[in-house]
């Protein structure tokens, strides 16, 4: 029960306008237990079969019931008894009594008819979100940036995220011919909750359904419904097309991450800027503090062109480099705009870029 409780409780916010939204909804019918958690923006459901039970339903405080089950031994059997709006929990010599709220008062997300549906492998969707979600904006006034854009059409599925200073994009072939091309924007919270669906079972197949305002993701024993962000995601086709004059480097990914991490020690919480200098057979990065402290790191590279100097947010560079899974990272510098592009060798469908900053 603990994985199911933890999953549905994770969507519950501690501060709610409606007290009942701090609860988990329990519904028991014909040996099947259905658990639901919601904040009216994202709703998750987990089903457990083979439960010895009588039919009934109730809601109980999510944080409390989850903590109780978590503290019990791993092999403990748990018994729930609900009567007169009071829930009794027993396990071994442990006894708990909790107050409940009526199940009929629990609000559920109301959806329209689904316009399209398609299936995708769980490991593919998870990889796409992991490659892009780090670039989402956080509480940006441009609300359409606070999520991941999913574009379906042309027999491919594409995910894009940006906060205006960096961008991550990846796409995969989609073995289905959708009637209409469509772009939706998943809110930030839904992106993270979808990643929790798998619980190590990435081999499962998910069904994705969407309408004008909602998307539903259905997996083994799990359903997630989320409201979509109502807005138009910017088009970045010109930015993501790499200029033919860009300078390309193939770098050892681990060495690059270690070099950037060491230099980042001398950046401040408010200013993460570093200088990157590409010269003859060397890549140098420097960082300075207001107290005139300095960090300098160099690594050998194959380059014999003119010197290129530009500034970047070191955290953005690190996030992009850490997302790449291969030993080598292909780094390209736009000679004109100094945009820094990252690619993963052998992966033509993924791209990460970092915009330059003035140092």
Token reading at 96: 């708990």
- Section 62-83 average pLDDT: 94
pLDDT in tens, 22-52: 999 999 998 999 999 999 999 999 999 988 8
Q: Find out whether 65 and 5 touch, Cβ atoms under 8 Å.
A: yes
pLDDT reading at 241 higher than 80: no
Residue 247 pLDDT > 90: no
3-class DSSP string for 283-347:
EEEEEECCCCCEEEEEEECCCCCCCEEEEEEHHHHHHHHHHCCCCEEEEEECCCCCCEEEEECCE
Residue 66, H or E segment = helix 62-71
Range from 83-97, 98-112, 237-251, 327-341 carrying the lowest mean pLDDT: 237-251
Give the global pTM: 0.90
Work out the percent of the chain whose per-residue pLDDT is above 90: 75
What is the rounded average pLDDT for all residues in the chain?
Answer: 92
Average pLDDT over residues 67-74: 94
Q: What is the pLDDT of residues 278-322, one digit of tens each?
A: 998 999 999 998 888 999 999 999 888 888 999 999 999 999 999
Burial classification of residue 1, based on how many CB atoms lie within 10 Å of its CB (0-12 exposed, 13-18 middle, 19 or more buried): middle
Mean pLDDT over 209-233 rounds to 94
Helix axes 122-132, 188-195, angle to 10 degrees: 140
Q: Which residue has the higher pLDDT, 147 or 178?
A: 147
The yes-or-no verdict on residue 238 having pLDDT over 80 is no
């Amino acid at each position: 029960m603990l994985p199911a409780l933890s999953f549905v409780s994770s969507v519950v916010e501690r501060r709610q306008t409606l007290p009942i939204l701090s609860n988990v909804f329990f519904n028991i019918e014909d040996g099947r237990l259905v658990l639901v958690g919601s904040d009216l923006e994202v709703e998750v459901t987990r089903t457990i079969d083979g439960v010895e039970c009588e039919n009934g339903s109730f809601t109980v405080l999510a944080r409390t019931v989850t903590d109780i089950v978590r503290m019990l031994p791993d092999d403990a059997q748990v018994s729930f008894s609900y009567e007169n709006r009071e829930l009794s929990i027993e396990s071994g010599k442990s006894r708990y009594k909790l107050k409940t709220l009526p199940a009929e008062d629990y609000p559920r997300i109301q959806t329209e008819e689904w316009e399209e549906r398609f299936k995708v492998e769980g490991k593919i969707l998870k990889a796409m979100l992991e490659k892009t979600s780090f670039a989402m904006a956080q509480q940006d006034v441009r609300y359409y940036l606070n999520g991941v854009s999913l574009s379906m059409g042309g027999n491919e599925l594409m995910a894009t995220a940006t906060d205006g200073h960096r961008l991550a994009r990846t796409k995969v072939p989609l073995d289905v011919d959708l009637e209409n091309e469509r772009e939706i924007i998943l809110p930030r919270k839904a992106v993270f909750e979808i990643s929790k669906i798998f619980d190590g079972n990435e081999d499962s197949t998910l069904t994705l359904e969407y309408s004008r305002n909602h998307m539903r993701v259905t997996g083994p024993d799990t359903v997630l419904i989320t409201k979509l962000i109502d807005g138009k995601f910017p088009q970045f086709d010109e930015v993501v097309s790499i200029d033919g004059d860009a300078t390309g480097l193939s770098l050892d990914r681990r060495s690059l991450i270690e070099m950037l991490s060491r230099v980042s020690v001398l950046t401040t919480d408010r200013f993460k800027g570093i200088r990157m200098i590409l010269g003859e057979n060397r890549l140098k990065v420097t960082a300075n503090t207001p107290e005139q402290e300095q960090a300098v790191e160099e690594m050998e590279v194959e380059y014999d062109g003119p010197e290129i100097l530009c500034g970047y947010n070191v955290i953005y560079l690190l996030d992009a480099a850490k997302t790449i899974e291969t030993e080598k990272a292909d780094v390209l510098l736009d000679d004109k705009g100094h945009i820094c592009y990252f690619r993963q060798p052998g992966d033509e469908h993924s791209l990460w870029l970092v915009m330059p900053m003035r140092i």
